[in-house]
Amino acid sequence: MGSKSLQAPWRAALVASLVCAGLLAYLADLYLFDVSGHWAFSVRVMWHCAWAGGGAGLDGPNMALAYMLPGCEVVSVAVNPVCGGSDVASGSGAWSSLVLHGTWRHAAWSLDRAFAVDEAAAGVGDMTANIWIYKWRFLGNVCPALQVGESLTWNSLQVPIVVVPPSPSAVPVDLVGCTDVFASAELDEFRSAWLQSFVRHHFQGLRGRLYVYGPESAEAKSRILRAAQLGPSLHVEVVDASSVSRAFREAWAAIRTDDSAAPPYFTEHFVHLFGLQDCLYRARAASARWLLALDVDEVLSFGRVDNMSDFLAWADRSGHEAVSFGSKLRSVSASQGAECASASSDRVFHEDVSGWKMCFPCREPQQECNAQPLWPLPAGCLGPRGRRKYIVDPSRADALQVHTPMVWGTHHMGHGAQEAQIWHFQGILGHQGSLDLDSGFAGLCEPHACQRWSP
């Protein structure tokens, strides 16, 4: 009788302990490891699929792209239903091999390992789809010379090859950049000037590659290519992400009985996340030294050094695998400096980001989401480190998230005036027509907090 009477209190204590442990792990994930709620989201997926009956929808990937890496390794990045792909992950069934069929060639790769990215940032955890990464081991002695545009067969899915390693005589790549420009931001003269200074600021003096994701129209692509040209040392490619957005919309429709369309923000976030994985494995195929993940309305201030080349040299000397930066918000609507009066001219300041900094002097006095209470977290806030961006050694990362490179050896830059940090010109690509900007971002920078930036 006594033992039975103790069972209920012990059971309650055990449940309470598990709840507390889960909460502490979640907070540690957000505040210490800076991985955007990755582990917490993984647990939520397990609950949704295994216990909450969320297993409806597509079975297996509904699109994938393939990346040929040095050593004949192939990586595929796929759009999976959240509760699908268990056979793929275990390497069983019809999804266990990747095959090249051809008139004169035949080759095969077996699944080595698979894992989900499980990105929970920005609240887009609606269980529509997930991004999975599959690593394939070559079965054979002589690696076939694959070409971009060829396809590998994965069960019933055709997986196009989007990148192969360069020739041994190719020039080494110092920096690969990943960013996106969506259809809502058409490049007029103002935005083109911004993109030109963005590219020059981050790639001047480096051998680099820049991958831009999002736009689907030929005109938008040509505008981006014209604005982003820096010379022969920089290769710029506008990546068509329409197959990714289409796959996300198909996954959305597969798990819903109504005809509701996926919100544009959900689709754009998913494309952005897929683009980061695509960019990572393009960088690894090229054996690039560093990768920079940055939105097109964000600019890296180099802190104690003068340019990106010197900053990357410092990161190399310091032995860092990745460096993350705090983000400081600048308003493009609350206040404009006198320099903005010449924003449509060819003045020199437009060739330098410092000109834009003086053009929009109004800024928040602290890092985005910094100095927030431990609990509860404000809506959209990722923790005290704020909405960080980063550089990372591509060879050290298997996956990227929006605000973290998923590398344990990451050096987190502080918030001091001499530390490298992000200037976030939020809304600069939302500029419409003249410099009388709309009020969509009004209030982000209160007048009492606004001050000119000291050079």
pLDDT in tens, 14-71: 777 877 776 666 555 544 444 445 556 666 777 767 664 555 444 678 899 999 999 9
Cβ neighbors of 257 (< 8 A, separation 6 or more) are: none
Q: What is the pLDDT of residue 353?
A: 75
| Statement: residue 432 has pLDDT above 60 | no
Query: Token match 């736009």: residue?
Result: 215
Kindly report the backbone phi and psi dihedral angles of residue 292, in degrees, each rounded to the nearest multiple of 5, phi listed first. Answer: -115, 120
Percent residues over pLDDT 90 in the chain: 30
Instruction: Read off the tokens for 18.
Output: 């598990």
Cα pseudo-dihedral 27, 116, 77, 325, rounded to 10: 10
Q: What is the pLDDT of residue 440?
A: 37
Lowest mean pLDDT among 225-234, 406-415, 417-426, 430-439: 430-439
Cα pseudo-dihedral 3, 7, 9, 12, rounded to 10: 170
Strand, coil or helix: what is 321?
Answer: coil
Lowest mean pLDDT among 118-127, 201-210, 245-254, 258-267: 118-127
Give the C-alpha separation, 61 to 84, whole Å: 8
Q: What is the pLDDT of residue 334?
A: 57
Percent residues over pLDDT 70 in the chain: 69
Q: C-alpha distances in angstroms, 315 versus 193, 393, 414, 418?
A: 29, 10, 15, 16
Q: What is the pLDDT of residue 415?
A: 72
- Cross-strand partners of 425: 330
Of residues 137 and 414, more confidently modeled: 137
At 378, the pLDDT band (50, 70, 90 cuts) reads: very low
Could you give the strand order of the β-sheet that contains 298-301, starting from the edge strand earlier in sequence? 298-301, 421-426, 327-331
**Mean local confidence (pLDDT), 413-439:** 67
Of residues 64 and 345, more confidently modeled: 64
Burial 273-309 (b: 16+ CB within 10 A, else e): bbbbbbbbbbbbbbebbbbbbbbbbbbbbbbeeeebb
Q: Is 48 exposed, middle or buried (0-12, 13-18, 19+ CB in 10 A)?
A: middle
Contact 299, 315 (CB under 8 A): no
E strand or H helix that includes residue 217: none
| Statement: residue 387 has pLDDT above 80 | no
At 118, the pLDDT band (50, 70, 90 cuts) reads: confident
**Mean local confidence (pLDDT), 199-210:** 95
Lowest mean pLDDT among 35-39, 181-185, 245-249: 35-39
Give the C-alpha separation, 360 to 201, whole Å: 17
